[in-house]
Structure 1
Amino acid sequence: MTDVYSIIVKFFQEGGFFIAPIAIVFFIGLAIAIERWVYLKYEKIRNAKAFSDFLPLLRTTEIEKMQMYTRENQAPVVRIIGCGLDMMKVSRQRADVENAMSEGMLETMPRIEQRTGYLPVLANVATLLGLLGTIVGLIGAFTAVANADPAEKSQLLSSSISVAMNTTALGLIAAIPLLILNAILQNKTKAIITSIEMSAVKFLNIMTLHRFIEAGSPRTGDNGVNPYAASQVAAAPTAPNVAAPSSPVSAPNQTDMASNSPPENDDLVTV
């Protein structure tokens, strides 16, 4: 244990100026990852419990009890369903209820995804700081070879190479775990969002099945008549009533017309 501690201390002592910034970036990323892990674990358990408690009310389709439950519980999945229940007071169209629940989803998702995106950024920063320390160490090594005294060349060269290698190593040591933690947290976040969306779709399907909301039908009034169509009919001008003939008029017979027509030449008329 003592040997490991001495190696770590020597590593930081020989690493140069950029060792401290890399270590700070790593610990900031580690703190964010731990906080996000705890929060997402808590949200997953809370959402699962809230929807399991809400499911019996959903199956009995007691709207008032469901609304009371959504006001008392602050779980994201319940709040999204509460947005749908509030919209059902105004419109029974499934599209309107879906839009209201999508609005609740957009309000909830940033809280679940926040600060996770910092992890890949911090991993890149740690890698770049390690690369910068490597360049600074190599510059020091070339300067030592060019300008230092022959007696001090070997010592300056070895210390500069230690700075270059140690900063590179620490940058990678910090970046790799942060990238792995970012991938794990992204998967946990996606799983929570998928479960919330699945619960919302289940709510919409059950409400549609029990005809509390309508799907694929035009907006209708309380009496089942489309109010927009009724208003258009009322506003349309009425044509004057034209009395239809009581009996169809038959065309005159050509034979009769021929017999009744006057003769064209008087010479053809016999007495």
Structure 2
Amino acid sequence: MDFFNSVIEFFQTGGTFMYPILVVAALGSAVAIERFIRLHYERHTNRTMWDKLQPILSSGDFDRARNLVKQDNSSVAKLLSMGLARQGAVRRREDIEIAMEESMMEITPQLEKRTPYVALFSNIATLLGLLGTIMGLIEAFTAVANANPAEKADLLSASISVAMNTTAFGLMTGIPLLIVHALLNSLTGEIIDSLEMVSVKASNLIDSSTRRRFEIDAPASEKKAENKPVKKSEKHSKAQPEAQAKTEEQQTETA
């Protein structure tokens, strides 16, 4: 109870600027908690989705992969949906990579949004604390000017200690928010790096699966072409040049 009483007394003696700092602390904490929950959820769903997609892409079952990413809302699914859609239309690796880069440009702002607000609230809390201290000092010196000379020293020291409460509370709010902002940036960068790694791995898997399928289909198509029966029209067209050559030889012999 003594701790809570001292906290309440500290807050009450800080003046009116303690309330705006408290509001800023609440807003910054709310944004930080929301971002932590969202980013941890994104990291978990991305890992789960990639673990499902990797063996499917390795096997070359692109239709199944397309159906799987359509049913999921993770960042990995959004990233690969563009690449797999382009894979169904074209075969070039460059086009698939460009499609995934375009999707990456859409995903990155969604991961980074609202994170800068945490640093903003940290700076606002610190500045409000300093402003509260300055205003408190102004009031203290104004009150001391009209006070009894014998009480000026005690009154000034008490007023200054009260005015410093806002600076202390502003720093107690701003420093943790600044640390949280750094952690959020680190977590966001980790997710973005993992998405870029997934993009490269998916491109390699799609490219290798496509080449492997082409190498398997090419000999089969050649065998079909060799075993294809020759039509009568083709035989007739081949026989005509031979007949013309024979008649020309006979004419030269008679001549």
User: Which TM bucket (shorter chain)?
Assistant: 0.7 to 0.9
Paired residue total: 212
Gaps of 5+ in 1: 214-271
More helix by share: 2
Q: 1:64 Cα deviation (Å)?
A: 1.0
Q: Cα RMSD (Å) of the superposition?
A: 1.8
Tell me the equivalent position of 2:185: 186
Tell me the equivalent position of 1:51: 50
Tell me the equivalent position of 2:165: 166
Question: What is the CA deviation profile of residues 64-88 of structure 1, one whole-angstrom value per residue up to 9, with x for unaligned ones?
Answer: 1111111111111111111011112
What pairs with 1:120-139 in structure 2 (closer than 5 Å)? 120-139=119-138
Q: 1:186 Cα deviation (Å)?
A: 1.0
Letter in 2 for 1:138: L
- Aligned partners of 1:65, 1:91: CA distance in 2, in Å? 18
Gaps of 5+ in 2: 213-255
- TM-score under structure 1 normalisation? 0.74
Tell me the equivalent position of 1:148: 147
What pairs with 1:223-238 in structure 2 (closer than 5 Å)? none
Tell me the equivalent position of 1:264: none
Tell me the equivalent position of 1:220: none
Q: 1:157 Cα deviation (Å)?
A: 2.5
Cα pair 1:126 1:175 within 8 Å, conserved: yes
1:208 and 2:245 matched: no
Greater C-alpha Rg: 1
Cα pair 1:15 1:167 within 8 Å, conserved: yes
What pairs with 1:106-121 in structure 2 (closer than 5 Å)? 106-121=105-120
- Of all paired residues, the percent bearing the same amino acid is 45
Question: What is the CA deviation profile of residues 224-251 of structure 1, one whole-angstrom value per residue up to 9, with x for unaligned ones?
Answer: xxxxxxxxxxxxxxxxxxxxxxxxxxxx
Question: What is the CA deviation profile of residues 135-180 of structure 1, one whole-angstrom value per residue up to 9, with x for unaligned ones?
Answer: 1111112212323344764565245313321001001000110011
- Aligned partners of 1:110, 1:76: CA distance in 2, in Å? 12
Tell me the equivalent position of 1:81: 80
Cα pair 2:59 2:209 within 8 Å, conserved: no
Cα pair 1:14 1:162 within 8 Å, conserved: no
What pairs with 1:65-80 in structure 2 (closer than 5 Å)? 65-80=64-79
- TM-score under structure 2 normalisation? 0.78
Tell me the equivalent position of 1:229: none
- Aligned partners of 1:95, 1:176: CA distance in 2, in Å? 46
